[in-house]
Amino acid sequence: METRQTPTNGRLFWRGLSRACAVCGQRRLTRRLIALSDACPRCGFRFERQPGHFLGAVIMSTIVTFGLILITILAGVWVLWPDVDALRLSIVPLAIAVIVPPALHPTCKTLWVAIDLMMRPLDPGEAVGDLISEEGAAKKR
Ligand SMILES: [Zn+2]
């Protein structure tokens, strides 16, 4: 059984950012809108490579969310100055705190998988499914 090669770092990054499987580029990996599937339906790659694997994705989502909250607070102070009202100032940051984490969740997970693959390439047998049909499709193009 042949094992897939780990794609280039640029391809891994783009696939992760666009919510695709970092290994084969398969899209539509989410269930119930935001939950990432356990494994890629095309290549069989299991996204959670070890227990606690997605801690990096949670950290990435937290950094982005807090960064956006900080930016909106600073922009709000700048816009409302000198009559800064805490209630008016907190509306947009609260909306960001509620909306952004679930919206970013699948993207952060696929991006984290891609970053992890950049650091730890595929092990033999980790993603093997549908290699032959993918090569056949590539030849037809
Ligand atoms: Zn795949």
Sign of the dihedral through C-alpha 79, 81, 87, 88: negative
**What is the tens place of the pLDDT at every residue in 32-69?**
777 889 999 999 999 999 999 999 999 999 999 999 99
Where is pLDDT greater, at 99 or 30? 99
C-alpha 59 to ligand 1 mean position (Å): 24
C-alpha 70 to ligand 1 mean position (Å): 36
**What is the tens place of the pLDDT at every residue in 101-124?**
999 999 999 999 999 999 999 988
C-alpha 48 to ligand 1 mean position (Å): 13
C-alpha 22 to ligand 1 mean position (Å): 7
Rounded Cα distance between 6 and 30, Å, is 22
| Domain spans of the chain, in order of start | 9-135
C-alpha 42 to ligand 1 mean position (Å): 5
Determine how many CB atoms are found less than 10 A away from the CB of residue 59.
12
